[in-house]
Structure 1
Amino acid sequence: MRRKAQRRHSHFYARCAHWSFSHQQEVEPIRWHRERWILAGTALLVTALAGFILPAWGSAMRPEPVATRHDVLPLTLPKTPALTAQAPLAEDWQAVEVRPGQTLSDIFQDVGLSLADLQRVMDAAGPAAHALHNIRPQQEFDFLLDANGALIGFRFDKDPSSRAVLRFDGGMPKLTIQARALERREHVAHGRIESSLFAAGAKAGMSAAMVGKLADLFKYDIDFVQDLRDGDSFTVIYDDVYRDGSYFGEGDIVAAEFVNQGHRYTAYRFKKADGNYGWFSEDGRPLQKSFLRIPVDFTRISSGFSVARLHPILGRMRAHKGVDYAAPTGTPIHAAGDGVVKYKGWMNGYGNFVVIQHNGAISTAYGHMSRFAAVRLGQHVAQGQVIGYVGMTGLATGPHLHYEFRVNGVQRDPQSVTLPKPEPLPPTQLARFKAEVVRPQLARLKALDDTLKLAHAGSLARNDD
């Protein structure tokens, strides 16, 4: 800036060049590097003055600090217990899941144990060992082995709500029964038959096992092979079982309604006076009828009841006084009702043949068995008990069950004969059944049915638009 001013006002500087504080000697013009030192010094002086003056002024304006009072209170701390022993390490239990076809001895050998170890477990389990006699796939057993592979612990489910724990690491085997928390979670499902019952159940979110339970409830009234029609519907309230917070398996049906060809059938679970549960219709009659309508799981009816039929082997017309249910060889055959085995053996034309006398008037007959079950002549059998297995012994062209329903020795059509109705609950139990079960569950089923009807109507209206 000085040089620029000198250039622009050179005439002024030439006129005033003789100005000086000293006239005795010629003053050398100030050079640029001297000006820089002067400016830097001035800036340093201003900075130093600001550094001393401003803090002093701030300290003078700050109020005197007031001392804060602190009260000291005694605090009693809990005494820390002395560690007398090291915390036990978590035990490494080895879980084994049963595979189809496996036996308990197979499982023990796979783990590296001997049959002597298995016998030791059976002996130590005592009455709880009955749970080990019939194991099933996906069942779980837990083993605890020491460093040498010797058995020191074994766990298994005694029943759904308790677990048996065996320990062999002491002097004597020790058995402990541990309770396990069971929880039931309720579900509601509704389905409409379009192709099959199982397809409708799967669409409604039901497992195949629960659909099977539904069919088992109404099997006395509905033939699920021949009687189902498109448009039939069902509504089910059922529960699933959770153990220790994890899914354990299907529970039971609490209430159900099935509409088949316009006929409505109901089922309600009820705890009877003897403490056992049963399923009853709305009028209090047991769903379990005195007789099974069909005593075998079949694929088709190969021949119906007829007074005149061309015999496939003999080639001549003769009466067929029973119903033939085609099924694979070895399919279990069940007793249609409670009764006594009146005949067991070979019968011409029938092959392996069984007759059960149910009362003074009614008997049932079963033919063409491949083999008999473990039943004896004169033995009392219960409804649903296996009495034999499907085959094609005697005059038969394929494996099937020939089933007869006899009244006073005369064969009647098993598909159309009127079966005797079971007796309803006693009056006191019937009143409790209707008050505690039927009314609340029927209200739930009706509310759900109304909701579904509204939803269906809304869906039809949208489709019309």
Structure 2
Amino acid sequence: MKKYSLINQDYRFVTHRGTAKALPFQKRHALLVGSLLLIALAVIIALPHDASATRSEPLSAAEPPSVPVSPSVSEPTPGSLTAAQPTQIPNAETEVSTETEWRPLTVVRGDNLETLFNRAGLNVGQANEFVALNATARKLTKLFPGDVVNVRSSEGLITHLTFETSETEQLQIVRRSDGQLSATVVTLPTEKRISYATATVENSLFLAAQNAGVSDKLILDLANIFAWDIDFALDLRPGDQFTIAYETIYRDGKKLRDGAIVAAEFTNNGATYTAIQFTSGGAPQYYSPNGVSLRKSFLRAPVEFTRISSKFGSSRYHPILNRI
């Protein structure tokens, strides 16, 4: 076996060597891709361990998210829920919620305020409280059939009461929050309208007025106006005519009654009489178009017209001439 001696070796640097062959392009490309894959794999392997410190686990569908509870607010327990009491409503609110709607109490024959309250299921002892309030409230002691007392109540205790003492006045009684009653009188506004009517007498004046829609009150007023010129018991003839303009009293759009006659014209046996109303601080007076008062010294009829009710006929007895 041949041995080499280290002494005889030349240790000079090699100054010239042959040029190495370069790798083909395909091999370089494959090498680059492989390196990138290795780097990516290393990142993927290391990523779950790093992200677990900053990312929470995904929520499952069966578990709702938990909301942190403030230390100052305790979570309700089943026992605390069942033991909770409803919120107390103030007394004023309770009274309003239990108060009934307005109820009209109609007076019938033999009624007084106590029997009226008793029939409505109200506390009868309140009647004395109401009538003792003032002079107007004492009118509740004089109730007539057909009168209406309107009330509102709460558990049998009347809280509001109204009663019309006249067509223009209403008594109002209210129970205050301290339980005391207060009574006031309120003026009810009314409206006057002018209405007209005309009729022709065929059988009787009252029947003609009734057919024209004229009330008995107005026809009596008409007879009193012309009582100094016409004898309504004997002078009326078939074909006589009358026309009147009169007041009608309304409240809240509802007719209350007929008022006074403003002007009237009556044609009797061919003669026409006209009356115009004039009022000066008292009862209305009637004058002719010339300003002459229709009131004269003597009436044409010796008996009151309202006592004459028979129709025209040949059998009517004349009280003065003593003949039929």
Matched, 1:164 2:171: yes
Alignment size in residue pairs:
220
Aligned to 1:261: 269
1:378-424 residue CA offsets vs partner (Å, 9 max, x unmatched): xxxxxxxxxxxxxxxxxxxxxxxxxxxxxxxxxxxxxxxxxxxxxxx
Amino acid at match of 2:132: D
Q: 1:204 aligns with which of 187, 200, 212?
A: 212
**Counterpart contact for 1:145–1:153, Cα < 8 Å:** yes
Q: CA deviation at 1:207?
A: 3.5
Deviations 1:250-302 (A, max 9, x none): 23221112222334333333231xx3341312235365978894358435688
Corresponding residue SS for 1:206: coil
Q: Does 1:124 align with 2:122?
A: no
Change (3 A) 1:178 1:281: same
Q: Which residue matches 2:101?
A: 92
In 2, the alpha carbon distance for the partners of 1:164 and 1:246 equals 20
Residue of structure 2 equivalent to 1:276: 282
- Specify whether residues 181 and 107 from structure 1 end up closer, same or farther in structure 2 by C-alpha distance, changes over 3 A only: same
- Alpha-carbon deviation of 1:201? 1.9
Task: Please state how far the C-alpha of 1:163 moved relative to its aligned partner.
Answer: 1.5
Taking structure 2 as the reference length, the TM-score comes to 0.53
Of structures 1 and 2, the one with the larger relative CO (CA 8 A, separation 6+) is 2
Residues 297 and 120 of structure 1: CA distance in aligned 2, closer, same or farther (over 3 Å):
farther
Kept in 1: contact 2:266–2:274 (CA 8 A): yes
1:415 equivalent in structure 2: none
- Give 1:59-78 correspondences, 5 Å limit: none
The 3 A distance-change label for structure 1 pair 203 and 297 is closer
TM-score, structure 1 normalization: 0.39
SS of aligned partner of 2:245:
strand
Distance 2:173 2:203 in 1: 51
C-alpha distance 229-137 of structure 1, shift in aligned 2 (>3 A): farther
Structure 2: distance between partners of 1:123 and 1:222: 53
Percent identity, please.
26
Question: Which amino acid is 1:239 matched to?
Answer: E
CA deviations on 1:152-194 (whole Å, 9 max, x unpaired) are: 3321123322321012454432112223231222211111111
Structure 1: how far apart are the matches of 2:298 and 2:112?
38
1:237/1:253 contact within 8 Å kept? yes
Partners of 1:135 and 1:255 in 2: CA distance? 37
The CA deviation at 1:229 is: 1.4
SS of the residue 1:142 aligns to: strand
For residues 202-241 of structure 1, the C-alpha deviation after alignment (integer angstroms, 9 at most, x for no partner) is 3323344433443444456544443321111111111222
CA contact (8 A) 2:277 2:287 kept: no
Preserved CA contact (<8 Å) 1:270 1:277: no
Letter of the structure 1 residue corresponding to residue 149 of structure 2:
F
SS at match of 2:203: coil
Counterpart position of 1:304: 319
Q: For 1:152, give the aligned amino acid.
A: T
- Residue 153 of structure 1 corresponds to which residue in structure 2? 160
Q: Give me the whole-angstrom Cα distance separating, in 1, the residues matched to 2:317 and 2:158.
A: 56
**CA spacing shift, 1:120–1:258, aligned 2, 3 Å:** farther
Q: Deviations over 1:120-152 (max 9, x none)?
A: 33322424645x57656544321223322x333
Kept in 1: contact 2:168–2:187 (CA 8 A): yes
Give the superposition deviation at 1:200.
1.8
Could you say which structure has the higher strand fraction? 1
Quote the Cα distance in structure 1 between the aligned partners of 2:303 and 2:128: 43
* Larger gyration radius, structure 1 or structure 2: 2
The 2-side partners of 1:196 and 1:187 are apart by: 22
Aligned residue runs from structure 1 range 300-449, under 5 A: 304=319
**Contact 1:219-1:293 at 8 Å conserved across structures:** no
Counterparts of 2:236 and 2:142, CA distance in 1 = 36
SS of residue matched to 1:124: coil
Match of 1:234 in 2: 242
In 2: Cα distance, 1:196 partner to 1:165 partner: 46
1:246: Cα distance to partner? 2.4
Whether 1:183 and 2:191 are equivalent positions in the alignment is yes
2:64 equivalent in structure 1:
none
User: What amino acid is the match of 1:255?
Assistant: A
| Coordinate RMSD, CA, aligned | 4.0
Q: Do the aligned partners of residues 227 and 181 (structure 1) sit closer, same or farther apart at CA in structure 2, a change above 3 Å counting?
A: same
Residues 86, 104 of structure 1: CA spacing in aligned structure 2 closer, same or farther, 3 A cutoff? closer
